[in-house]
Amino acid sequence: MASSLIPQELNVYQNAEARFEAAAKKLGLEDGLYRYLKYPSKEITLYIPIGMDDGKLEVFTGYRVLHSAVRGPAKGGIRYSPDVTLDEMRALASWMTWKCAVVNIPFGGAKGGIICDPGKLTPGELERLTRRYTAELFQWLGPERDIPAPDVGTGEQTMAWVMDTYAMHVGQATTAVVTGKPTELGGSAGRREATGRGVMISCDKAIARLGIPRSGCRVAIQGFGNVGSLAAQLMHEAGYKIVGLADIHGGLYNENGFDIHAVIDWTYGLRKPLIEFPGGGERMSSQEILFQPCEIAIPAAIENQITERNAHEFQARILCEGANGPTTWQADTIIEQKGVFTVPDILANAGGVTVSYFEWVQDRQGFFWRESEVNDRLQDVMVNAFDEVVRYAELHHVNNRIAAYMLAIDRVARALRLRGIYA
């Protein structure tokens, strides 16, 4: 199933498979269930025709992969990027299944994407692309079937277009068909910050275990989008010292720490490049930021940033994965041998899907919660999941990543045994 064009280590699908296999083996998962859970249950490829602003017709390739709906409707983001591949969608869809199971919310996993460069498309082109993609998928989607959310290159506006297109097809407003919507359209208070907040809660738990004080604890973050910038802001406000920041154009390291509010004003207010931030710091590549002196490194951009090639340069004591799949399977061993405490992606960045679940619940209830209520419930879910993963790791003598997979696979397998196979 994996593409032969991509080097093996960098194929995210093979990375996802390797972790699944190791955890399933340790768990003693029966052969039939192993094969059932290894593959997605559905996948679709779409060729999406769009009239461009210059009058030309362009055809974009898009995907939606539904990995599992065993524990509930499938949940997963939509990614717009030139690098989207079917293998990537398969990996991300299966990670959603495991992530929802780790935090014990009643969803399965899915993922979708379109091969495009959203930065080069006009708002009108993006809207038409999103609406046509949604219309083509209309029968697959739904609050009880498959519920998209934003991912790299998509956001609240994209979700508003998905929701409106779906609503036009079913003939009624259906806010619960997507999450990560604007609050004016049934979005949840606290959703925008949720993944970054979940990352911070994971870091709080990890430093408590390692006896590192929060105040002055040095943090390097790669990625300054939804996850990275909000994790940086919340952690800065909580007393962490953010010494490294990076986006696609490069990184900045400042051992004195950044004033994150000033960086956000610079990048989001003034729309200036992060690496030109005038507050000082040494310039480097985006990837190098993860390998600087610090207590916590947070990859919060894309996959395959910590690999067999560079893992030995890792200096942090804690690796908290805001992004999906930032560490390759081969790098895991090196990181583990260094004694790094890893909070794996399917736990560390699960705050987003957890508040997406709260959004879906609120939409279906038609009753909305205060932001403090959302944050308190998120804290409960993340703390419980963290404690369960660490307990599982200790009990089964495995690292946190394999423990998280084992916990998740066990939950999905138990649900599957109870449901039985319909045929």
Catalytic residues: 111
Whole-angstrom distance, CA of residue 314 vs CA of residue 249: 21
Are 177 and 144 spatial neighbours (Cβ–Cβ below 8 Å)?
Answer: no
Instruction: Note whether 153 binds ligand NAD by CB under 6 A.
Output: yes
Residue 310 zone, left/alpha/beta (φ > 0; ψ -120 to 50; rest): alpha
> Which among 24, 8, 65 has a CA at the least distance from the CA of 42?
65
Q: Which is nearer to ligand NAD, 24 or 349 (CB)?
A: 349
Determine if 247 is a binding residue for ligand NAD (CB under 6 A).
yes
Q: Is 290 in the site for ligand NAD (CB under 6 A)?
A: no
C-beta of 119 vs 216, nearer to ligand NAD: 119
Which of 352, 386, 390, 409 forms a contact with ligand NAD (CB under 6 A)?
A: 352
> Is 227 among the residues that bind ligand NAD (CB under 6 A)?
yes
Q: Select from 57-65, 123-131, 318-326, 414-422 the region that touches ligand NAD (CB under 6 A).
A: 318-326
Q: Where are the alpha helices (DSSP H) in 186-328?
A: 191-210, 226-237, 260-264
Q: Is 226 in the site for ligand NAD (CB under 6 A)?
A: yes
Cα separation, 111 vs 149, in Å, equals: 9
Residue 97 binds to ligand NAD (criterion: CB under 6 A): no
Interior/surface letters 248-263, b for 16+ CB within 10 angstroms, e for the rest? eebbbbbeebbebeeb
Whether the CB-CB separation of 327 and 298 falls below 8 Å is answered with no
In the list 210, 238, 248, 262, the residue contacting ligand NAD (rule: CB under 6 A) is 248
* Single residue of 41, 174, 179, 286 touching ligand NAD by CB under 6 A: 286
Interface with ligand NAD (CB under 6 A), residue from 162, 301, 318, 385: 301
CB of 302 vs ligand NAD, minimal distance in Å: 5
In this structure, the number of other CB atoms found within 10 A of the CB of residue 55 comes to 6
Angstrom distance (rounded) from CA 153 to CA 132: 17
Please report whether residue 381 would count as binding ligand NAD according to CB under 6 A.
no
Q: Which is nearer to ligand NAD, 13 or 24 (CB)?
A: 13
**354 touching ligand NAD, by CB under 6 A:** no
Rounded to whole angstroms, the Cα distance separating 72 from 143 reads 10
Q: Which residues in the 183-222 window bind ligand NAD by CB under 6 A?
A: 195
Q: Which residues bind ligand NAD (CB under 6 A)?
A: 150-153, 195, 223-228, 247-248, 286, 300-302, 322-324, 349, 352
